[in-house]
Amino acid sequence: MNFDIPEDIAEFLDELDAFTASHIKPLEAENDNIRFFDHRREDARTDWDRQGLPNEEWEALLAEAKRRAIEANIFSYPFPKEHGGRDGGNLGMAIIREHLAAKGLGLHNDLQNEHSIVGNNIGLLLMLEYGTEQQKSDWVHGLKNATAGFAFGITEPEHGSDATHMETNAVKKGDYWIINGEKTWNTGVHIAQCDMVMARTSGQPGDALGITAFLVPMETSGVKIEEYLWTFNMPTDHAHVSFKDVRVPDTAIFGGEGRGLQIVQHFFNENRIRQAASSLGAAQYCVNEAVEYAKTRRPFGKPLASNQGIQFPLVDLQARCEMLRALIHKTAWLMDRDGAFSVSDKVSICNYQANRLCCEAADTAMQVHGGMGYSRYKPFEHIYRHHRRYRITEGADEIQMRRVAGYLFGFMNQKKPKGVD
């Protein structure tokens, strides 16, 4: 069994580091752009007079970094070769996401906005997998060049983890569908051209089948952004959106009538393993920084690192990083070999364990650094606030554990998650 990073991925990491040094770090240093990453970051990024949305200068900087990455054929790593990519799979993306997050905060990778110079472009991959020929014609160019995108409207005010009980519904009237309902935590609608709205079109609450995905243009009559929800880590791009008698044609259906949950499951599994890798990388960064600080800080005339009270928590975190890395790599490799749904239990284990690990590592790094660790002059509070979100979004810890229990005790089908044909 070979645990080496595959040669092509290792070579890409070298290319990635060289590109970051030559094209991203200079941009980060221009025009006081470092304000978006140092102790001023939250205030610099947030437009407090525009409902707490991301500052336009901040989003323009992210767009420029992405443009440079696209031009260098870095951003498109996970895309199919016929669409300008490198056929990067889940294993490659997991290794890359960890690698970038382990470097700390910077323009190369900012998880608060799900920004990275290597695109986690789930929208494109879903479009290629589930889109009609017309939808592909309309969307693929914009998606792969990051000039177009759609948000995902799944969660509702009264239904989060119990998505199959959603109240948003769509009723067919001739060649059109009339959508009514509400979505919340609808991320990215302020810049999206469409919202992929999940609505029940048949069946009963709790049924896996009968939920349909609709690509709804944001300017459609009856679509209203009620508010943007302020969060632990600002700025926000999470909206509460209402849909009142929203009329869309049959051609707005994405992935087939009644098959929307399969799209959600696919989206979640791909994202969860990458999210786990990012959390692992951020955790490793926190451990590394705490270890180095403990070696140099000398309270009472001796290195802080000489105290077992400092050593043991960091040893435990490092051990967990090593073990989790092995499972993430194995899981991502199996997903590439057997399909996104093949190891859903392991995806869930990786996800909730990595997100917990990152929060604990950030908290420990704060403690080791003392007062400075608690300040915004160090990135640990930012890392904690962001990754604490991951323990809730895209399946809370408890939901992940419930999925693992389902496969372990036999009341869920490993090869066929709910809603998957």
Whether residue 107 has pLDDT greater than 80: yes
Pairing of β 194-200 and β 150-153: parallel
State mean pLDDT over 275-282: 97
Considering the chain, what is the average pLDDT of its residues?
A: 93
Q: What pLDDT does 417 receive?
A: 61
The class that CATH gives domain 150-254 is mainly beta
In angstroms, the first-to-last Cα distance of the chain is 33
What's the rounded mean pLDDT across residues 270-290? Answer: 96
Residue 21's CB: how many other CB atoms inside 10 A?
11
Q: How far apart are CA 179 and CA 216, in angstroms?
A: 10
Architecture field, domain 7-128: Orthogonal Bundle (1.10)
Q: 409 Cβ partners below 8 Å, 6+ apart?
A: none
Residue 47 CB contacts under 8 Å (≥ 6 apart), including other chains: 53, 54, 55, 56, 235
Map residue 391 onto helix, strand or coil.
coil
- For the segment 368-417, what is each residue's pLDDT rounded down to a tens digit? 999 999 999 999 999 999 999 999 988 899 999 999 999 899 888 756 66
Query: Phi then psi for 189, rounded to 5 degrees?
Result: -70, -20
**8 A C-beta contact, residue 399 and residue 392:** no
Confidence of residue 342 (pLDDT cuts 50, 70, 90): confident
Residue 420: what pLDDT? 65
Strands 176-187 and 169-173: antiparallel
Mean pLDDT along residues 152-177: 92
The catalytic residue among 182, 257, 360, 394 is 394
CA 49 to CA 355: how far, in whole Å? 32
Q: For 66-83, what is the mean pLDDT? A: 93
The residue extents of the domains of the chain are 7-128, 150-254, 261-409
Per DSSP, the three-state class of 153 is: strand
Q: What is the CATH number of domain 261-409?
A: 1.20.140.10
133 is a catalytic site residue: no
pLDDT for 416 equals 61
